[in-house]
């Protein structure tokens, strides 16, 4: 049913013949088709089987219709030595892979549309029908054989990558249209040449670019452009003509040629290259792009509609100023627009030749110059010269003055001014004082507050002078009882300022009682007071602006006290209770200077009675501070008369509640509630409202959540507190996502691996919603068990690591701080590392052991080999200056190096050679798949994953545009690629599948330890492990945020390296780990000297950190001296004797083997055996033949050896032998020595 439906949609004939199975074969093999016959000219061929197979068209074949649409797999239809003609409709689906190879023909009068991969490596496309490259398809025209295009009408809505350099033939009435959004990318010096008949008519509504090749390429199509044609490299010849009605022609690093007429009827031509031909512009021309010279090899002309844009960034025309230089005649017309660039300002004597040619006619009709400059154009017979002269600037004029504004509190407010003049500069002022940053034609407040109330002006200036505006005032209207609040102390069980944050502290004893004016109140005992904010001064109010204070008070004792005082920059404003009438307390208030003499204050003539709640409001309206009219007072909502009969002494400039007056009579004994300070003059109606029951209020946060750094698995608690009336509801969010069930003021949970993030809470009631500030939580992930730090002794960034066997390894590093890149070496399984000087200045980005050799790769085409464990490195002639980023080897004769701009080089055991891929992306990693077939994978930018299958590299779809930096395989059916945005993809033998990692960080490296265990590492300390083959990933802590760019696996341990020479090692759970033994020769010491014919003891100390030493071998050079399975006694070192009678240098090594087979070789120790003084005798050793003696005497002189058993006189010496001393010494053996308990010898010269 699916096939029938697809055929009906395509309008194909009812006679359909399908390819029967997912098996490869030839088109003309009738057994492969469902009807048992090969599809004919009236049939529709259907190939829709899933799987990996190839259908080869190798004979002339004609069908009415074609449907090639496999649902999955890697099915291929290739036309080789045959032909495929479609007379009706041909559909190549999104999963199709169609290939036209040398010798093949694709033709017919029908319409063919491709939505998958279309590869044209040679052969001919012909026929009168359409060939459509649909959006999303992949079209590659690659080098193979000659390509021919004739008759066919090509419609491109995708990206065509044309990298063939074969000399391809086109013409005979063919057409090509680039749709909007499509691209024709000429990736080199392509040779698309005219064949015969009518040239190809090319309509470009999309993009054409020559992106590579430093030579000359050809596009012999008659080109009509409304899109973009860009030459980025080399030269592109368009020998059949070029016309542009819209769009743009860009020379951004290359030239366009063909010695034809370039008609720019519309759009833009821009750049600093060469136009080889006649250039006529009716649109816009921008030489330089942005600064430079546009050259024309023949005539250049403008039409009256043309616009020429010349940018000046300096005084050198053609270099830092634009110029058009024509070899032929020059015709000038249209508009000239002059622009200044890079902050350049011309001097009066500066001039530029902006156009030149062999002869000039015409002039510009319009010249537009930068503001403040007057242009002068000088026309000669061959060029046009420009001068710019700075003109006098008129003083600004204000045409519309800023107007006074009255707006509600919390609303936006905007002042504006309109002025005329050149290069205007604005400066707004508040009460005559400049406002920092207010330098535009408008001054805005959003939201406006009472503190913004003032008189505003603006000064408008330019080079001609300045002019001030008229004054404009800003008035703010209150919008509610909380409008203009500066501080508020509800005193509901604490001393928190819920508005301004000037929280109080208890200086003595304070309790809270549930009998407040509304709810809970603060009770003071007469012996303490409450400092507010920072003492001694932290002004709440501005004495130059109106303000008010309001509070509930219930005195319980008759004292003169100060319920509230507010610090100001001039001293303080105090409210206090003094002697009143009828046994009560009268309210007094006023300004007091800092430690100043007594000043007049104002008295409210209504008593405040003991034991009852009274609401007090005092107001400073602004104006003279000694004028009664500047103040107001309200008791219980009622206005009261004032007089100036009381005086107060100077104040200390503090914010306080309940203080005493002048140090007498103690402090307030009584209750305070709902203390408020406003930055505006409260109105009578406000005093009434405050003295009545409180109105509902929206939520406000008084305690914000604070970030935390909990350890994984420990408790995480985030607290907050909001106020509002009525009661509130809470909801917590993490990274703007609601946390289900988190609906209280405090959020309690357990810190998990994914718990890091940004948290906030919202408080809500029926009158509004408040959002808290953000609290950032970073969950600390402890280091995994067994994690050990490694010091490499370098500050450089480590880029790669590789091991040979269990103990030998290299780590590569990049250049840093003026020093070149290099490698570090380990010979003990990674326990310690030593930097090696390899003598390069480039970055070393990769290192790899293979066989007995090591290889490195890096920037500037660096490729080197070492065959002596890193002691020296020999460079290869890579033939490229590309940066190599990755290395891999299957054997000593098969390896790959990958790098920038699609560079891939192959190693054959003796040399590296470039391997073309047709891919421009940068490769960062490469790896063999571990199988015998030589399959390798390379990964890089733009979501690139490529596979080498023994015959060539091909791209594999992965469904992501991430940049891949690392790739690693365990076997052909299990591999991983990692990259940016937390991307990890797994290969399962048939396809790459993206995995969920739970992070958006960038991974740089990956290593597969076994079928279940995979490690990935990257930027900012990112280190993750999967223990189920990649299905789930867990972060691992390192205690560092440095970048990690290299991973390696060796003998049960994973090694991590990164920035600053940082290194770590970690045991892989479930794998046996064996640390190697240690061994060192302690005697003889290096460079010691000995005489011949003496025993030299060679002593070695050996131990094993996680087992036992089962064998120690001693070597002199390559010759084994001895082997021991244990020392001579427990706790003693291993030792063996060495004898020699030959002079020279000797080198000793000791080799230790542990109980699991690990082997360590000691550092060598060299000694010298030298000639002793002559006439010296010594016992060499005892053997079964007797006592061997050596004598060093005069060469050629005869000596007699004598022996005795008693050295005490009288001594009888018995001759044993008489000899002449040969060169260099005499050796004699006493065969009777073993028969005596003591035996003494002497040599005596015979005269």
Lowest mean pLDDT among 154-168, 453-467, 570-584, 882-896: 570-584
Measured between alpha carbons, how far is residue 848 from residues 374, 453, 632, 856, 1096 in Å? 67, 73, 87, 7, 42
Whether pLDDT at 725 is above 90: no
Q: What is the pLDDT of residue 1196?
A: 64
Burial (CB < 10 A; 0-12, 13-18, 19+), residue 19, is buried
Is the pLDDT score of 515 beyond 60?
Answer: no
Check residue 508 and give its pLDDT: 63
Which pLDDT does position 597 carry in this prediction?
Answer: 43
Q: Strand 904-907 and strand 894-899: pairing?
A: antiparallel
What are the residues whose beta carbons fall under 8 Å from the beta carbon of 1052, sequence distance 6 or more? 1067, 1068, 1071, 1072, 1073, 1074
**pLDDT value at position 1067?**
84
pLDDT of the residue at 67: 95
Separation CA 457–CA 987 (nearest Å) = 70
The Cα–Cα gap between 493 and 489 comes to 10
Torsion 884-920-144-926 (CA) sign: positive
String of b and e for 653-681 (b: at least 16 CB within 10 Å)? bbbbbbbbbeeeebbbbbbbbbbbbbbbb
Output 1135 or 1209, whichever has higher pLDDT: 1135
What pLDDT does residue 9 have?
A: 32
Q: Which of 548, 584, 567 is nearest to 670 (CA)?
A: 584
Pairing of strands 300-302, 274-281: parallel
Place of tokens 């070597």: 1115
The residue with greater pLDDT, 514 or 1089, is 1089
Q: What angle do CA 790, 794, 797 make, to 5 degrees?
A: 90
Highest-confidence segment of 375-384, 801-810, 1169-1178? 375-384
Instruction: Note the pLDDT of residue 664.
Output: 46
Closest among 705, 704, 749, 697 to 728, alpha carbons compared: 697
| Number of other CB atoms surrounding residue 1025 within 10 Å | 20
- φ/ψ of 691, rounded to 5, equals -80, -15
pLDDT at 8: 32
pLDDT of residue 951: 83
* Residues 967 and 986: beta-carbon distance below 8 Å: no
Q: What is the mean pLDDT of residues 670-680?
A: 87
pLDDT at 30: 93
Question: Is 808's pLDDT higher than 90?
Answer: no
Structure tokens given for 240: 């059949």
**Distance of alpha carbon 1198 from alpha carbon 1201, whole angstroms:** 10
Topology at the third CATH level for domain 1078-1169? Immunoglobulin-like (2.60.40)
Q: How far is CA 960 from the centre of its chain?
A: 17
Q: Are 488 and 497 in contact (CB under 8 A)?
A: yes
Looking at residue 661, what DSSP letter applies?
A: B
Q: Is residue 679's pLDDT more than 60?
A: yes
Round to whole Å and give the CA distance between 297 and 299: 7
Percent with pLDDT over 90 in the chain: 45
For 1043-1076, how does the pLDDT look when each residue is reduced to its tens digit (9 = 90+)? 888 999 887 888 999 888 888 888 877 655 567 7
SS (H, E, C) 952-1016: CEEECCCCCCCCEEEEEEEECCEEEEEEHHHCEEEECCCCEEEECCCCCCCEEEEEECCCCCEEE
The predicted pLDDT at position 1130 comes to 75
Q: Beta strand pairing status for 923-928 and 1044-1050? A: unpaired
Query: Is residue 453's pLDDT more than 70?
Result: yes
Q: Can you tell me the mean pLDDT for 621-639?
A: 81
What's the pLDDT tens digit per position in 17-55?
A: 999 999 999 999 999 999 899 999 999 999 999 999 999
Return the percent helix, strand and coil in the chain, to nearest 5. 5, 50, 45
Give the separation between CA 605 and CA 635, rounded to whole angstroms: 10
Output the DSSP codes for 1070-1129: TS---PPPEEEEEESPTTEEE-SSS-EEEEEEEE-TTS-EEEEEEEETTEEEEEESS-SS
The confidence score (pLDDT) of residue 3 equals 33
Q: Nearest-5° angle of CA 691, CA 692, CA 694?
A: 105
- Residue 30 has phi, psi (to 5 degrees) of -60, -25
Query: Mean pLDDT, the chain, as a whole number?
Result: 85
> Is the model's pLDDT at 1234 over the cut of 80?
no
pLDDT at 444 over 70: yes
Mean pLDDT, residues 828-856: 88
d(CA 658, CA 674): 14
Interval 256-312: pLDDT, tens: 999 999 999 999 999 999 999 999 999 999 998 789 999 999 999 999 999 999 999
Beta strands in 180-305 (DSSP E): 183-187, 191-194, 200-204, 207-212, 216-219, 221-225, 228-231, 235-237, 242-244, 248-251, 255-264, 268-271, 274-281, 284-287, 293-296, 300-302
Residues 634-639 have a mean pLDDT of: 86
Model pLDDT for residues 312-337, shown as the tens digit of each residue: 999 998 899 999 999 999 999 999 99
For residue 847, the model assigns a pLDDT of 93
Confidence band, pLDDT 50/70/90 cuts, at residue 468: very high
pLDDT at position 427 over 90? yes
**Taking phi first (over 0 means left), then psi (-120 to 50 degrees means alpha), and beta for anything else, what does residue 167 get?**
left
Token pair in block for residue 116: 């998958």
Q: Each residue of 902-917: pLDDT tens digit?
A: 999 999 999 999 998 8
| 259, 238 Cβ separation under 8 angstroms | no
Write down the domain spans for the chain: 1-108, 267-391, 397-477, 485-589+598-694, 698-777, 788-1067, 1078-1169, 1176-1245
At 4, the pLDDT band (50, 70, 90 cuts) reads very low
pLDDT band for position 123 (cuts 50, 70, 90): very high
Q: What is the pLDDT of residues 357-371, one digit of tens each?
A: 999 999 999 888 887
d(C-alpha 1080, C-alpha 1149), whole Å: 8
Domain 788-1067 homologous superfamily, CATH: YVTN repeat-like/Quinoprotein amine dehydrogenase (2.130.10.10)
* 142 vs 1191: which has the higher pLDDT: 142
pLDDT for 382 beyond 50: yes
Give ∠ CA 89-91-95 in degrees, rounded to 5.
Answer: 175
Lowest mean pLDDT among 215-224, 598-607, 735-744, 947-956: 598-607
Q: Which CATH class is domain 397-477?
A: mainly beta
Please answer whether residues 481 and 690 qualify as being in contact, where contact means their C-beta atoms are separated by less than 8 angstroms. yes
Q: What is the mean pLDDT of residues 47-66?
A: 94
Joined together, the tokens standing for residue 227 give 């899109």
Q: Which residues contact 436 (CB under 8 A, 6 or more apart)?
A: none
Within 10 angstroms of residue 982's Cβ, the number of other Cβ atoms is 21
3-state secondary structure of 217: strand
Q: What is the pLDDT of residue 518?
A: 53
Three-class DSSP category at 1235: helix
- Structure-token pair, residue 2: 């699916």
Mean pLDDT of 537-546: 75
**Which residue in this structure is represented by tokens 């999303």?**
136
pLDDT > 50? residue 695: no
* Three-state DSSP class for residue 429: strand
Q: Which CATH number fits domain 698-777: 3.30.70.1170, 3.40.50.720, 1.20.1050.10, 2.60.40.10?
A: 2.60.40.10
Question: Does residue 241 carry a pLDDT above 50?
Answer: yes
H, E, C per residue of 1013-1069: CEEEEEHHHCEEEECCCCCCCEECCCCCCCCEEEEEEECCEEEEEEHHHEEEEEECC
Is the Cα dihedral 687, 693, 699, 703 positive or negative?
positive
Please choose, from the candidates 236, 235, 237, 226, the residue with its C-alpha nearest in 3D space to the C-alpha of residue 204: 226
Percent of the chain with pLDDT over 70: 87
Could you check whether 698-777 and 788-1067 share the same CATH topology?
A: no
Give whole-number Cα distances, 384 to 14, 282, 298, 317, 357, in Å: 72, 19, 17, 12, 9
* Range 1193-1208 average pLDDT: 69
Task: Give whichever of 555-569, 719-733, 976-990 has the largest mean pLDDT.
Answer: 976-990
**Is the bond into 290 cis (omega within 30 degrees of 0)?**
yes
CA–CA distance, 912 with 909 (Å, rounded to integer):
8
Query: In 870-886, which positions are buried (b, 16+ CB within 10 angstroms) versus exposed (e)?
Result: beebeebebebebbbbb
Average pLDDT over residues 503-517: 65
Question: Do the beta carbons of residue 1192 and residue 1170 sit within 8 Å?
Answer: no
Residue 13's pLDDT is 41
- 754 pLDDT more than 80: no
pLDDT of residue 1106: 76
Structure confidence at residue 137 as a pLDDT band (50, 70, 90): very high
The CATH code belonging to domain 485-589+598-694 is 2.60.120.200
Q: Which residue has the tokens 């032909």?
A: 83
Are 540 and 549 spatial neighbours (Cβ–Cβ below 8 Å)? no
What phi-psi label fits residue 953: left (phi over 0), alpha (psi between -120 and 50 degrees) or beta? Answer: beta
State which H helix or E strand residue 60 sits in.
Answer: strand 60-63
**What is the mean predicted confidence (pLDDT) over 575-583?**
56
Has residue 1165 got a pLDDT over 80? yes
Is 649 a residue whose pLDDT tops 70? no
**pLDDT number for residue 1:** 26
The answer to whether 1112 touches 1121, Cβ cutoff 8 Å, is: no
Q: What is the pLDDT of residue 861?
A: 92
> Would you state the pLDDT for residue 428?
96
DSSP line for 236-271: EE-TT-EEESSSEEEESS-EEEEEEEEEE-SSEEEE
Residue 229 reports pLDDT greater than 90: yes
Residue 7 has pLDDT above 50, yes or no: no
Task: Give the model confidence (pLDDT) of 970-986 as tens digits.
Answer: 998 999 999 999 999 99
Distance CA 1200, CA 1246 (A): 7
């Amino acid at each position: 049913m699916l096939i029938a439906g697809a055929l009906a949609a395509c309008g194909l004939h009812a006679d359909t013949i399908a390819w029967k199975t997912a098996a490869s074969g030839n088109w003309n093999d009738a057994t492969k088709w469902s009807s048992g016959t090969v599809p004919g000219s009236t049939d529709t061929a259907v190939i829709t089987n899933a799987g990996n197979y190839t259908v080869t068209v190798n004979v002339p074949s004609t069908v009415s219709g074609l449907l090639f649409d496999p649902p999955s797999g890697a099915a291929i239809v290739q036309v080789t030595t045959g032909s495929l003609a479609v007379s009706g409709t041909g559909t190549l689906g999104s999963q199709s892979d169609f290939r036209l190879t040398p010798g093949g023909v694709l033709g017919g009068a029908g319409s063919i549309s491709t939505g998958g991969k279309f590869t044209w490596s040679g052969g001919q496309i012909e026929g009168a029908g359409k060939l459509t490259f649909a959006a999303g398809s992949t079209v590659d025209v690659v080098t193979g054989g000659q390509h021919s295009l004739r008759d066919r009408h090509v419609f491109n809505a995708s990206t065509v990558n044309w990298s063939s350099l074969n000399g391809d033939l086109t013409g005979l009435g063919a057409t090509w249209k680039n749709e909007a959004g499509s691209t024709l990318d000429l990736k080199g010096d392509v040779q698309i040449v005219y064949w015969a008949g009518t040239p190809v008519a090319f309509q470009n509504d999309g993009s054409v670019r020559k992106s590579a090749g430093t030579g000359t390429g050809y596009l012999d199509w008659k080109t009509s452009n409304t899109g973009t044609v860009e030459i980025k490299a080399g030269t592109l010849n368009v020998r059949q003509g070029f016309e542009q009605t819209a769009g743009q022609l860009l020379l951004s690093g290359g030239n366009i040629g063909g010695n034809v007429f370039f008609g720019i009827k519309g759009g833009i031509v821009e750049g600093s290259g060469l136009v080889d031909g006649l250039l006529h512009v009716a649109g816009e021309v921008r030489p330089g792009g942005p600064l430079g010279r546009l050259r024309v090899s023949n005539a250049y002309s403008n039409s009256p509609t043309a616009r020429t844009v010349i940018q000046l960034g300096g005084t050198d025309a053609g270099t830092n100023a634009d110029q058009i230089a024509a070899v032929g005649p020059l015709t000038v017309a249209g508009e000239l627009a002059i622009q200044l660039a890079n902050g350049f300002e011309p001097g009066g004597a500066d001039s530029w030749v902006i156009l030149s040619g062999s002869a000039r006619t015409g002039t510009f009709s319009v010249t537009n110059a930068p503001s403040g400059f007057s242009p002068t154009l000088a026309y000669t017979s061959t060029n046009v010269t420009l001068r710019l002269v700075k003109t006098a600037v008129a003083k600004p004029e204000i045409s519309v003055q800023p107007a006074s504004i009255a707006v509600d509190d919390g609303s936006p407010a905007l002042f504006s001014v309109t002025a005329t003049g050149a290069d205007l500069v604005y400066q707004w002022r508040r009460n005559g004082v400049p406002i920092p940053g207010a330098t535009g034609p408008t001054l805005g407040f959003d939201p406006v507050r009472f503190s913004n109330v003032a008189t505003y002006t603006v000064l408008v200036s330019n080079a001609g002078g300045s002019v001030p505006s008229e004054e404009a005032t800003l008035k703010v209207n209150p919008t509610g009882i909380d409008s203009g609040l500066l501080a508020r102390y509800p005193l509901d069980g604490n001393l928190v300022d819920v508005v301004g944050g000037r929280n109080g502290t208890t200086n003595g004893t304070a309790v809270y009682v549930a009998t407040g004016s509304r709810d809970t109140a603060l009770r003071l005992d007469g012996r303490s007071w409450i400092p507010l904010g920072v003492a001694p001064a932290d002004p709440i109010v501005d004495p130059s602006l109106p303000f008010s204070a309001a509070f509930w008070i219930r005195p319980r004792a008759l004292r003169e006290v100060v319920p509230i005082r507010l610090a100001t920059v001039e001293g303080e404003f105090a409210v206090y209770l003094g002697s009143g009438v009828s046994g009560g307390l009268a309210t007094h208030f006023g300004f007091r200077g800092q430690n100043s003499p007594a000043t007049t204050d104002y008295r409210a003539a209504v008593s405040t009675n003991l034991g009852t709640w009274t609401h007090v409001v005092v107001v400073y309206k602004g104006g003279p501070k000694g004028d009664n009219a500047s103040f107001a007072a309200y008791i219980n909502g009622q206005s009261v008369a004032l007089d100036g009969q009381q005086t107060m002494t100077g104040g200390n400039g503090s914010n306080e509640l309940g203080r005493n007056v002048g140090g007498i009579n103690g402090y307030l004994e009584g209750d305070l509630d709902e203390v408020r300070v406003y930055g505006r003059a409260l109105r009578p109606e406000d005093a009434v409202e405050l003295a009545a029951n409180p109105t509902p209020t929206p939520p406000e946060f008084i305690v914000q959540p604070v970030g935390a750094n909990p350890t994984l698995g420990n408790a995480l608690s985030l607290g907050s507190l909001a106020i509002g009336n009525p009661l509130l509801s809470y909801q917590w969010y993490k990274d703007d996502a609601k946390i289900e069930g988190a609906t209280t003021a405090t959020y309690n949970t357990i810190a998990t691996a994914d718990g890091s993030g940004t948290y906030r809470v919202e408080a809500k009631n029926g009158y509004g919603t408040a959002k808290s500030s953000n609290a950032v939580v970073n969950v600390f992930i402890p280091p995994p068990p067994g994690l050990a730090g490694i010091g490499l002794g370098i500050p450089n960034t480590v880029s790669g690591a590789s091991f040979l066997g269990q103990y030998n390894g290299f780590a590569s590093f990049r250049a840093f701080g003026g020093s070149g890149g290099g490698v570090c070496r380990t010979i003990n399984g990674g326990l310690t590392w030593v930097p090696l000087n390899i003598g390069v200045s480039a970055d070393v980005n990769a290192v790899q052991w293979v066989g007995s050799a090591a290889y490195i790769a890096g920037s500037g085409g660096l490729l080197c080999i070492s065959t002596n464990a890193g002691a020296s490195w020999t460079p290869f002639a890579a033939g490229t200056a590309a940066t190599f980023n990755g290395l891999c080897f299957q054997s000593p004769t098969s390896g790959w190096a990958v790098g920038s701009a699609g560079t891939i080089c192959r190693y054959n055991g003796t040399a590296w050679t470039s391997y073309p891929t047709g891919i421009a992306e940068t490769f960062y990693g490469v790896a063999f798949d571990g199988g015998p077939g030589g399959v390798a994978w390379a990964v890089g930018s733009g979501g690139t994953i490529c596979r080498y299958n023994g015959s060539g590299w091909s791209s594999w779809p992965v469904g992501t545009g991430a940049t891949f930096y690392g790739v690693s395989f365990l076997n052909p059916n299990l591999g991983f690629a990692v990259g940016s945005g937390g991307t990890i993809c797994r290969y399962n033998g048939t396809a790459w599948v993206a995995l969920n990692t739970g992070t958006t960080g960038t991974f740089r490296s990956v290593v597969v330890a076994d079928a279940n265990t995979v490690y990935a590492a990257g930027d900012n300390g990112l280190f993750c492990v999967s223990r189920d083959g990649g299905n789930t990933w867990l972060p691992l802590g390192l205690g560092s945020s440095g970048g990690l760019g290299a991973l390696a696996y060796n003998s049960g341990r994973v090694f991590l390296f990164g920035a600053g020479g940082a290194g770590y090692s970690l045991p892989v759970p479930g794998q046996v780990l064996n640390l190697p033994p240690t061994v060192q020769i302690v005697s003889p010491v290096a460079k010691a000297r000995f005489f011949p014919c003496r025993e030299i003891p060679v002593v070695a100390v050996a131990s094993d950190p996680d087992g036992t030493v089962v064998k120690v071998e001693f070597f002199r050079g390559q010759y084994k001296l001895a082997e021991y399975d244990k020392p001579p006694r427990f706790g003693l070192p291993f030792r063996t004797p060495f004898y020699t009678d030959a002079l020279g240098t000797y080198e000793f090594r000791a080799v230790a083997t542990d109980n699991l087979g690990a082997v360590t070789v000691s550092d060598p120790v060299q000694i010298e055996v030298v000639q002793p003084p002559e006439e010296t005798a010594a016992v060499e050793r005892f053997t079964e033949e007797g006592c061997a003696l050596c004598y060093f005497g005069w060469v050629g002189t005869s000596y007699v050896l004598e022996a005795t058993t008693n050295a005490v006189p009288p001594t009888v010496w018995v001759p044993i032998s008489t000899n002449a001393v040969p060169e260099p010494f005499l050796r004699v053996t006493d065969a009777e020595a073993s028969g005596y308990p003591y035996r003494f010898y002497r040599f005596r010269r015979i005269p």
